[in-house]
């Protein structure tokens, strides 16, 4: 169903693509996402994004400015200033070619790792708020707790959550307030620009900020630990990050002391969302979702004085 927001966002995208034309013959506008936290449409080479309700312009504006200052790492917006539409902040971006989900063998793990290393080595060009990774994890736990009915796996996830340090649960300041971080790294956050074969760039600056660089490595680390990412893919990613002088992990040796807490937090976050979605759809957990819950169970079962590496 087309909502007033989606309809007007489509018109804005058309106008941004063709500001001096009343009509165009370049095809229909495509809805790329229509979720409570973001509505995204594409028209020709322009993408319009309505950010989550309640997004603070005081936080969004410096994130947009940062993207314009490091265009070799982050896809820069078409304008560094958001507009307001139906009470939502809207930004405009050039379209980039996304990662092909049907070609996992071609996943750009090296490019992702290299971009992260560059980002982490770049001094923030303007003052930025803390990156929002732990806050997103906390929202996932809140969603699990408010699910319509209890789920037998929920206590395992909540125990693993309680074992995390306060900063990873967004209950204390982050341990690093100077390193530039993406805050929500996954392969869906990369595009080639210019299309179709330009260099890879990071997109989605909603969670960008300062914080511990290891958080940006946490999702692939957690996937590897849970058996969802192959050892070869993990090695490619980690090796490329180290080769680009990424500061999140030591240049040699065991990376897990640095990655352990963020990887556990991302495992818990993903498991919490999986359970909440399964409850909402009244279905059992699938194999991947169950593997995340199993990892939470392993973490929750370890004594407090032992390392809680989700791979063990």
Domain limits of the chain? 4-94, 104-301
pLDDT, residue 76, reads 98
Q: 0.75 exceeded by the pTM?
A: yes
**H or E stretch at 88:** strand 88-94
Sheet holding 30-35, edge to edge: 30-35, 38-43, 46-51, 88-94, 83-85
Output the pLDDT for position 21. Answer: 63
- Specify the pLDDT at position 258: 97
Reply yes or no on domain 104-301 having CATH 3.90.950.20.
no
Distance CA 70, CA 117 (A): 13
Which residue, among 277, 181, 288, has the nearest Cα to 229 in the 3D structure? 288
Domains 4-94 and 104-301 fall in the same CATH topology: no
Alpha helices by DSSP H, listed for the chain, are 4-17, 57-69, 109-121, 133-145, 154-162, 218-225, 231-243, 256-281, 287-301
Digitized pLDDT (tens) for each residue of the chain, 312 residues in all: 568 888 888 888 888 877 766 666 666 889 999 988 899 999 999 999 999 999 999 999 999 999 999 999 999 999 999 999 999 999 999 999 999 999 988 999 999 999 999 999 999 999 999 999 999 999 999 999 999 889 999 999 999 999 999 999 999 999 999 999 999 999 999 999 999 999 999 999 999 999 999 999 999 999 999 999 999 999 999 999 999 999 999 999 999 999 999 999 999 999 999 999 999 999 999 999 999 999 999 987 654 433 445 544
Domain boundaries 4-94, corresponding CATH code: 3.30.200
Angle between helices 287-301 and 154-162 (to 10 degrees): 50
pLDDT for the residue numbered 20: 66
């Amino acid at each position: 169903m087309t909502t007033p927001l989606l309809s007007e966002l489509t018109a804005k995208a058309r106008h941004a693509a063709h500001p001096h034309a009343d009509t165009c013959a370049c095809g229909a506008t495509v809805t790329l996402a229509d979720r409570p936290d973001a509505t995204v449409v594409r028209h020709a080479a322009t993408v319009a994004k309505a950010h989550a309700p309640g997004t603070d312009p005081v936080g969004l504006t410096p994130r947009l400015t940062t993207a314009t200052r490091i265009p070799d790492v982050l896809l820069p917006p078409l304008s560094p200033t958001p507009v307001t539409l139906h009470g939502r902040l809207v930004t405009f971006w050039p379209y980039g070619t996304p990662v092909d989900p049907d070609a996992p063998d071609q996943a750009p793990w090296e490019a992702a790792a290299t971009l992260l290393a560059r980002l982490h080595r770049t001094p923030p060009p303007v003052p930025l708020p803390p990156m929002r990774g732990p806050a997103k994890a906390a929202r996932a736990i809140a969603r699990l707790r408010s699910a319509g009915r209890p789920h037998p796996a929920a206590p395992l996830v909540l125990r693993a959550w309680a074992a995390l340090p306060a900063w990873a649960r967004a209950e204390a300041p982050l341990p690093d307030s100077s390193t530039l971080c993406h805050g929500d790294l996954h392969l869906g956050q990369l595009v080639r620009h210019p299309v179709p074969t330009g260099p890879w760039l990071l997109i989605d600056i909603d969670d960008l900020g300062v914080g511990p660089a290891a958080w940006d490595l946490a999702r692939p680390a957690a996937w590897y630990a849970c058996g969802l990412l192959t050892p070869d893919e993990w090695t490619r990613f980690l090796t490329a990050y180290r080769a680009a002088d990424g500061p999140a992990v030591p240049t040699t040796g065991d990376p897990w002391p640095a990655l352990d807490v963020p990887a556990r937090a991302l495992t818990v976050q993903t498991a919490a969302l999986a359970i909440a979605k399964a409850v909402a759809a009244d279905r059992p957990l699938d194999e991947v979702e169950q593997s995340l819950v199993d990892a939470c169970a392993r973490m929750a079962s370890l004594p407090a004085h032992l390392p809680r590496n989700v791979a063990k």
